[in-house]
Amino acid sequence: MKKVLIAPSILSADLLKLEEQVKAVAENGADFIHVDVMDGHFVPNLTFGPNMVAALKRITSLPLDVHLMIEHPEMVIEQYAKAGATYLTVHQEACTHLHRTIQAIKEQGMKAGVSLNPATSLSTVENVMEDIDLLLIMSVNPGFGGQSFIEQSFQKIARAREMILETGKDILLEVDGGINNETAEEVVEQGAQVLVAGSAIFGSNNPVQAMNELKEIASKGIN
Ligand code: DX5
Ligand code: ZN
């Protein structure tokens, strides 16, 4: 497998020092900047919108990995394209017409991602695998940073990797939730390529050091 990509999640950053913290990780080894958009309905928490994506776009050239934890994501696709999102990931559980939503994301010039909650089967995305650029496996129930990794996710990651290999396409396998120095290596061993980490990076006194340590540990899982 290729190298591990790290996507620091600004959900756990200090909002009053956001520019400084994003620049620090972006200039010292981060691969994506992960933006958790929550609407207080799909998940019981409320965070940022497209204006945050536009603001980040002004301070970094890294790909912006936007994770929409919202109902009716199809209604805001254009706004996120205009804001400068690189990857736009929607939840399978929030999309009645997932295929159409994926096409709309790509028509707007973004890369399309689909995410699954821990309780959602991989079979629900079987029929759209050929259409996506990124598959995001949630290893916690979405809504908050700092939760513990759900162990059953390892198996799901391994199966997701097989499904991706079956397509023969270059689809990124991303894992989000509870990624830290204890879980990162095995997550990669099972096939994850992009690791989202919030509290493990921004919860540290030295986010850059924590990120690079995490990347080093995660890289041991490459096989
Ligand atoms: C959770 C979000 C995550 C969150 C992860 O709903 O999707 O991206 O930032 O936080 P940690 O890494 O602390 O589990
Ligand atoms: Zn996320």
User: Distance between CA atoms of 8 and 29, rounded to whole angstroms?
Assistant: 10
Q: Which of 36, 65, 131, 133 is flagged as catalytic?
A: 36
Residue 85 region by backbone torsions, left for phi larger than 0, else alpha for psi between -120 and 50, else beta:
beta
Ligand 1 binding pocket mutation candidate from 6, 11, 150, 183 (most atoms within 8 A of CB): 11
* Ligand 2 midpoint to CA 197 (Å): 8
pTM above 0.95, yes or no: yes
Side chain identity at residue 28, one-letter code = N
Rounded-to-integer distance, Cα 217 and Cα 2, Å: 15
Contact status, residue 175 vs residue 194, Cβ threshold 8 Å = yes
Q: What is the percent of the chain where pLDDT is above 90?
A: 99
**Which of 39, 140, 147 to probe ligand 1 with, by most ligand atoms within 8 A of CB?**
140
- Strand, helix or coil for residue 80: helix
Q: What is the total residue count of the chain?
A: 223
CB atoms near residue 118 (< 10 Å): 15
Question: For residue 160, is pLDDT > 70?
Answer: yes
| Closest ligand to Cα 45 | 1
Cα 87 to chain centroid, rounded = 9
pLDDT at 2: 79
What is d(CA 26, CA 6) in angstroms, rounded to the nearest whole number? 10
- How remote is the CA of residue 84 from the centroid of ligand 1, in Å? 21
Ligand 2 centre and the CA of 64: distance in Å? 12
What is the residue with the minimal CA distance to atom 7 of ligand 1?
A: 142
CA 11 / ligand 1 centre spacing (Å): 7
- pLDDT category at 1 given cuts 50, 70, 90 is low
Q: Tens digits of per-residue pLDDT, 7-20?
A: 999 999 999 999 99
36 is catalytic: yes
Residues 82-97, mean pLDDT to the nearest whole number? 99
The Cα 28–Cα 128 span in angstroms is 35
Say whether 133 is catalytic. no
Q: What is the mean pLDDT of residues 157-182?
A: 98
Neighbours of 145 (CB within 10 A): 20
